[in-house]
Homo-oligomer: A and B are copies of this chain.
């Protein structure tokens, strides 16, 4: 009684008939993960499925929404601490869902989406590891800016013009502090003699902190990619992270991708916290990729009992090797 979902390519003949549709894709990981984190090297398995919804109005506006299966599961947020209901299903909160409508006026996206800073700034990381070791060491930064400081329910408007695109975003603080987050970002992509280059600049403010991030990246025709980034995190107290700088370099040849990155935080009145990562991916085709990742950190407070991989604490070195599968 199993039902099979057709691959998109097989459905070209039907495309006109489906004005609103739900598609499902999946991902899974299997392998081993370890490191000197006080825990033994262990098996690693992870799975997820994504519901992607899309449609078009009679007037030609496109709209859509998506949610992952893991996002439809309860979690311990400050809003629903132990109840076990995902905030994705309540209107005033987000739990991973994103919803958009777009047309010639631009695009509006709401829910668990990037603020304008993160939207404009490009990550320095390439490749994937099953435990994300290479991109979650103590020196890693994901341009998150002030996103999530007011519940994470974000609205972003973006508009493209030629090689440029710009966005503004807002996140409403419903606490009495009323520290709404506003952001603006702009990015550029172009081609200079076969080298694709991109720049991003983003800024966010919540009346208490002002952050900005600037990134640049170049993809050369010989397969080498270089990404650099800098962020001002506007530390408000001794011990808080104040600035970040990072670089990522990758090389792709056929089915193989290898990449390395380094990132470093300046801490207000404290030592520099940094780390670097390595990753190798080999594509077996059909959705299967062999993945190996490594990350190492310096100057991180170590909590001895932690089994967590990818946290900023309790971790000096982590590695993982396995298969990443896409369906």
Contact = CB atoms under 8 A, between A and B. Distances in A.
B92 A153 contact: no
A260 interface: no
A18 B7 CA distance: 5
Q: By CB atoms of chain B within 10 A, which of A21, A26, A75, A98 has the most? A: A26
Tell me the number of copies of this protein: 3
Contact of A91 (B66, B153, B309): B309
A88 interface: yes
Q: Which of A7, A39, A61, A85 has the most CB of B within 10 A?
A: A7
Interface in A43-97: 43-49, 51-59, 61, 63-67, 69-70, 72-76, 80, 82-86, 88-92, 94, 97
B178 A40 contact: yes
Nearest to A288: B57
Contacts of A9: 17
A237 interface: no
A25 interface: yes
A113 to B, nearest CB: 9
A24 interface: yes
Given A72-B70, A89-B70, A90-B46, A3 B25 contact: yes
Interface of A: 1-11, 14, 17-26, 28-30, 33, 39-49, 51-59, 61, 63-67, 69-70, 72-76, 80, 82-86, 88-92, 94, 97-101, 108, 110-111, 130-131, 153-155, 170, 172, 174, 178, 284-288, 307, 309, 323, 325-327
Q: Which 10 A-B pairs have the closest CB atoms?
A: A84-B84, A58-B285, A74-B84, A3-B5, A28-B65, A53-B327, A70-B89, A7-B18, A20-B287, A10-B17
